[in-house]
Structure 1
Amino acid sequence: MDSAFAKPDSFPKLKKKANLAHAVHDLGLSAQAEDEEIYQKAVEQNRFVLTINFKDFRKFVKEDKPGTLGIDSQLTNQEIDEKVTNFISGKDPEDYKGKATKI
């Protein structure tokens, strides 16, 4: 999760479905970390990036590397929790490698 999000505990449904890590709270990046730095940390740990900054993150995605999932910025934490959980349920993460997907 990029630095714009609340801590993973704010997304209980998603936390049950995915191994969430917050760029600042879990991965130790600065709150002012650049998008590319966040994406590189995701690549190092083989994680997707969940972001509201979809346009900027999609340019970093490379074939066979973790992808990005973009969501609207005006959603509440509860709406994010439900929307992303519903989106990833029953899907194979391998299908989204190397892709930037807006949900």
Structure 2
Amino acid sequence: MLLDENFPIRKHFPFLNRRFDLKHVGVDLNLEGLSDPEVYALARKENRLVVTRNIKDFRELALTSNDTGVIGISPNLIFEQIDKKLTALLNKSTKKSLFGKLTTITEET
């Protein structure tokens, strides 16, 4: 997974960090300031999911490739909730079920 710049460093997500190959665009990859299409292209190249709070701008990008996908996170969720909800989603999903689309995580999901 690829954490967009609007997320904190990955140590704030201990469950995700232990179970999945999680990288932060700015901190781990030193690629600060990438545009949304560039982040999406990087995720596609590396066969990763983009995790972002920027649902509006990634909505259309999410439908352009089956080689990646976007998980949009509600801005109302705190880090602990994101860690648990995203880990639960990934544990019950296949790559195929998440790639080629936008999946959202909210307070209700």
User: Does the pair score TM above 0.5?
Assistant: yes
CA distance in 2, matches of 1:95, 1:79: 22
In the aligned structure 2, how far is the partner of 1:58 from the partner of 1:65? 15
- What is aligned with 2:16? 14
* Deviations, residues 6-34 of structure 1 (Å, cap 9, x unaligned): 1111101111222101110112211x321
Give the AA of the match of 1:46: N
The reply to whether residue 89 of structure 1 matches residue 91 of structure 2 is yes
Asked if the contact 1:17/1:89 (under 8 Å) is kept, the reply is: no
If the length of structure 2 is used for normalisation, what is the TM-score?
0.86
Cα shift readout 1:38-84 (whole Å, capped 9, x = no counterpart): 11111111100001011211211224220000111122111111111
In the alignment of these two chains, the number of paired residues is 102
Unpaired segments ≥5 residues, structure 2: none
- Taking the aligned partners of 1:2 and 1:48, their CA distance within structure 2 comes to 10
Considering fraction of residues, name the structure with more strand. 2
Following TM superposition, the consecutive aligned residue runs of length 4 or more in structure 1 with deviations greater than 6 angstroms are none
